[in-house]
Amino acid sequence: MESTNPNTLFAEYVKLIKQFKLPGIDASAVLESRRKDIEALAAANTTALAGMQSLGQKQMEILSDTMGRIQSLVAQRTTEAESKPAAGGAMKQALHRAFADMQELAETAYRAQADSFAVISKRVAENVEELKALVQPAR
């Protein structure tokens, strides 16, 4: 196969399956099931990509925000003499914000993975039902 385009790959797969006539097997049902599998994988990949893009965007926002806060703290230190309690409070606040940001990143990554897993899990359940229907004798 010369191309890695999913549509071309599926077309090649269809040609291959249609060459073989097996008694008791509905080739069109098998092909439809595989098409759904490919669509589910594509949807899962799209969901995972969107999640990773969201995670990357959030990381950039956090980095930009953190750098802005650091820049602000450095500017304050150079323009005025800061008392030790105020410096400790700024450090504590910066740490709390960093932990909140890390938790938000973890939640974003979890959502992305859970959404992708849900797409695949749904298709696996559908596949099991389709196989059950194919295996049952015709009435």
Contact 20, 52 (CB under 8 A): no
pLDDT digits (tens, 9 = 90+) for 71-112: 787 777 767 655 555 566 776 777 788 778 878 888 888 888
Angle, helix 6-19 to helix 27-79, in steps of 10 degrees: 160
Domain boundaries of the chain, sorted by first residue: 27-132
Strand ranges, E, within the chain: none
Q: Is the pLDDT of residue 61 over 50?
A: yes
